[in-house]
Amino acid sequence: NETLKAELGNASWKLFHTILARYPESPSENQKSTLNDYIYLFAQVYPCGDCARHFNLLLQKYPPQLSSRQVAAVWGCHIHNQVNKRLEKPQYDCSNILEDYDCGC
Amino acid sequence: NETLKAELGNASWKLFHTILARYPESPSENQKSTLNDYIYLFAQVYPCGDCARHFNLLLQKYPPQLSSRQVAAVWGCHIHNQVNKRLEKPQYDCSNILEDYDCGC
Ligand SMILES: Cc1cc2nc3c(=O)[nH]c(=O)nc-3n(C[C@H](O)[C@H](O)[C@H](O)COP(=O)(O)OP(=O)(O)OC[C@H]3O[C@@H](n4cnc5c(N)ncnc54)[C@H](O)[C@@H]3O)c2cc1C
Ligand SMILES: Cc1cc2nc3c(=O)[nH]c(=O)nc-3n(C[C@H](O)[C@H](O)[C@H](O)COP(=O)(O)OP(=O)(O)OC[C@H]3O[C@@H](n4cnc5c(N)ncnc54)[C@H](O)[C@@H]3O)c2cc1C
C-alpha cells in the first residue's frame, strides 16, 4: 500500500530531521557515537525492507557527518535529497534546515 | 511550542509501532539485540529532552520484551499507554495492535 508507505516515510523523516536539528552544537565523542549508532540501527529496523536496503547503501556512500549540529542537519538533508532523487521528487533547499525542523521542544 | 511537540510525538509513535509490527515473528538473537539497542538509542536521542528523560525511566521499569512480533508490539502499546496515562490521555486498546500498524510495506 503506497499511501501507508508514504505516511510512514513522512513520519520517519520528520523524526530523523528533528533529531539532527536538536543534536548538540559541539557534541562530545560520546554523543557522536550515540547518534552514529542510532542512525545505522534506524537503517536496519526501518519497516519497509526495500527502503532499508537502499538507505543502507546510501549510508555506505554518504556516512553520517556528525561534527556539529549544522553539519549533521545538512548531511541529513542531503541524504534525504538522494532518496528524493531516486523517487524523482524535487530537491529540497537545505539552507534553512535548522529553522525548518525547530521543534521548540 | 505544544503543536510541534505533539506532531513530533505522533510521527515518532507511528514509526515506533510500525517497527514493532514488522519485527520478525521468530526473531534471532541478533535481531533481538538490534531492536533492543535501537529502542534504547531512540530513547537517548529523542528530541524532546523532558520526554526522553521520562521515557528512559519507563524503559527501566518496563524493559523491551522482544521474544516475538506479537509480544514486542503489545509491549510497545503498553509503554505508549504509560505515556498516555501520565498525559491524561485515554488508554489505547492493544488487542489489534498488529493490524493497526500494518504498513503493507
Ligand atoms: C530512510 C528512508 C528511506 C526510504 N526509502 C524509500 C524507497 O526506497 N522507496 C520508496 O518508495 N520510498 C522510500 N521512502 C519513503 C519516501 O522517502 C517518502 O517518505 C514517501 O515517498 C513520501 O514522500 P513525500 O513526498 O510525502 O515527502 P517525504 O520525502 O516523506 O518528506 C516529508 C517532508 O519533508 C520535507 N523534505 C523533503 N525533502 C527534504 C530534505 N531533503 N530534507 C529535509 N526535509 C525534506 C518536505 O517538507 C516533505 O514534504 C523512504 C523513507 C525513509 C525515511
Ligand atoms: C517516546 C515518547 C515520549 C514522550 N513523552 C512525552 C512527555 O513526557 N510529555 C509530553 O508532553 N509528550 C510526550 N510525548 C508526546 C506524546 O506522547 C504525544 O505524542 C503527543 O502528546 C500527541 O498526542 P496525540 O494525542 O496526538 O496522540 P499520540 O500519543 O501521539 O498517538 C498517536 C496515535 O497513536 C495511536 N495510539 C495512542 N495510544 C497508543 C498506544 N498505546 N499504542 C498504539 N497506538 C496508540 C492513536 O491513534 C493516536 O492518535 C512523547 C512521545 C514519544 C514518542
The predicted-structure confidence for B69-102, as pLDDT tens digits, reads as follows 999 999 999 999 999 999 999 999 999 999 999 9
Q: What is the pLDDT of residue A104?
A: 82
B78 lines ligand 2 (CB under 6 A): no
Q: What is the pLDDT of residue A20?
A: 98
Q: Whose CA is nearest to atom 20 of ligand 2?
A: B6
Q: What is the pLDDT of residue B96?
A: 97
Q: Are B48 and A105 in contact (CB under 8 A)?
A: yes
Specify the ligand 2 atom closest to the Cα of B80.
41
**Chain A residues within 8 angstroms (CB to CB) of chain B:** 1, 4-5, 7-8, 10-12, 14-15, 18-19, 21-23, 34-35, 37-38, 41-42, 44-51, 102-105
Q: What is the pLDDT of residue B103?
A: 86
Say whether pLDDT at B68 is over 90: yes
ipTM > 0.90 (yes/no): yes
Please name the residues in contact with B56: beta carbons below 8 A apart, sequence gap of 6 or more.
B43, B44
Instruction: Report the C-alpha gap between B14 and B81 in whole angstroms.
Output: 14
Nearest in space to B15 (alpha carbons), one of A78, A10, A24, A49: A10
How many residues make up chain A in this entry?
105
The string of pLDDT tens digits covering residues A51-105 is 999 999 999 999 999 999 999 999 999 999 999 999 999 999 999 999 999 988 8
Q: Which numbered ligand comes closest to the C-alpha of A44?
A: 1
Instruction: Report the C-alpha gap between A16 and B47 in whole angstroms.
Output: 10
Say whether pLDDT at A1 is over 90: no
The letter for the amino acid at B60 is: Q
The string of pLDDT tens digits covering residues A3-48 is 999 999 999 999 999 999 999 999 999 999 999 999 999 999 999 9
| B contacts of A56 (beta carbons < 8 Å) | none
Instruction: Report the C-alpha gap between A3 and B104 in whole angstroms.
Output: 9
Q: What is the pLDDT of residue A105?
A: 80
Average pLDDT over residues B2-6: 91
Q: What is the pLDDT of residue B24?
A: 97
Instruction: Report the C-alpha gap between B58 and B50 in whole angstroms.
Output: 13
Q: Which residue has the cell 525542523?
A: A101
Q: What is the pLDDT of residue B104?
A: 82
Q: Which numbered ligand comes closest to the C-alpha of A101?
A: 1
Instruction: Report the C-alpha gap between B31 and B77 in whole angstroms.
Output: 20
| Alpha-carbon gap: B33 to the closest alpha carbon of chain A (Å) | 10
User: Do B47 and A104 make contact, defined as CB atoms within 8 angstroms?
Assistant: no
Say whether pLDDT at B36 is over 90: yes
Q: Which residue has the cell 532523487?
A: A85
User: Do A8 and B1 make contact, defined as CB atoms within 8 angstroms?
Assistant: no
